[in-house]
Amino acid sequence: MIRFRQTRDSQAERDRHADVDLSVDDLIMPYFVVEGRDRQEAVPSMPGVSRLSIDRLVDEARGLYCAGVSKVLLFGVVDDKDKDERGSAAYSSDNLIARAVRALKSALPGMTVITDICLCEYTSHGHCGLLRPSVSEAGALDVDNDSTLPLLAEMARTHAMAGADIVAPSAMMDGQVAAIRARLDEDPQTEDCQVMGYSAKYASAFYGPFRDAAGSAPGDASASWPGFKLPANRKTYQMDYRTRTQGLEEIAADIQEGAAYVMVKPAMPYLDILARATDKFGLGTESAHVKMVAYQVSGEYAMLCAAAENGWLDRDRVIYESLIGIKRAGAELIITYFAKEVAEKRLTLNGYLK
């Protein structure tokens, strides 16, 4: 008999045997940014999360920074009237996110600012890239990979020029990291901006609340393509989750294309992918310079909040346990809507949750 219980019989003993921990330095806080001033709109399916105008974002980020979280991820949300078929508002000069980056960097120079690079929040049809008539199905539309790449690269360039530290392409177009890296490398002013690939991003139902927040669900293309059928979902570009190995191939490709960070998304249902990716590409391997990131997405957040609100789960303890689980699987950084709450409750967490 091995007396494992000796390792658990006091708080001090349990602390000595713990080899995974959670720090505020591990956390990245996502924000949804809207035009206007003094605007704050609650997102019903994500309790505690709001869309913020740039002035409110800066106030909010100041509080986050004081609580100890020094990394944010920005999503732009534009009004329907500002959307078009090509998602022009994503990469127009002085676009919403470029202005948000500038404001954040001037108020909080120590804040690491990451921007999401994707067209879905800006296209009238809600897809992550440009549409074209399908080559395989008459009367249907497809999302066109190669013509989307220069637009993603241009979007990344405008954010990097504004001072973004990291750009994070999430459109799941093949070659997006290489296209962005090449564009950033053309100019000394943008060459130090890093790329965080949403490398293993699955076509997940857990993004539902995000699409409410960002108004980015695939919708309508009838204005530009009368009579054509729009793809109803993102399954032709985001990954099918019924595969064990493709996530690792996607990650390998992003590393080869020059990503400094690679991501698995969502987090909780995909910890196997994260763990295997960490074994293959994480610390102690030939690509140890690349950091592993996991995204605890909107649906994971909504699910835990809902159970806690019903009194079915203890909020603090499930937040902490879920994040430790993601760390244990190998994430060095976690994007989570709980980031600020975890940082603000830090003392309680240390005292209560071990």
* Active-site residue list: 201, 265
Residue 310 and residue 348: Cα distance in Å, rounded? 22
The residue among 60 and 227 lying less far from ligand PBG, judged by its C-beta, is 60
Let me know how long the chain is.
354
Query: Least separation, in Å, of the C-beta of 118 and ligand PBG?
Result: 4
Q: Where would I find the H helices in the chain?
A: 11-17, 54-67, 96-107, 145-162, 176-185, 208-214, 246-256, 271-281, 298-309, 315-329, 339-344, 346-352
| Of 120 and 292, CB closest to ligand PBG | 120
Of 238, 254, 239, 314, nearest to 290 (Cα)? 254
Q: Nearer to ligand PBG by C-beta: 58 or 217? A: 217
| Minimum CB distance to ligand PBG, residue 251 (Å) | 17
Q: What is the dihedral of CA 137, 138, 143, 147, to 10 degrees?
A: 120
Structure tokens at 108: 């909080």
Q: Least distance from C-beta 43 to ligand PBG, angstroms? A: 11
Min dist CB 295 to ligand PBG, Å, is: 6
Q: Please name which of 71, 120, 122 lies closest in space to residue 96, comparing C-alpha atoms.
A: 122
Q: Which residues bind ligand PBG (CB under 6 A)?
A: 116, 118, 120, 128, 170, 207, 210-211, 216, 297-298
Residue number, nearest CB to ligand PBG? 210
Select 204 or 350, whichever has its Cβ closest to ligand PBG. 204
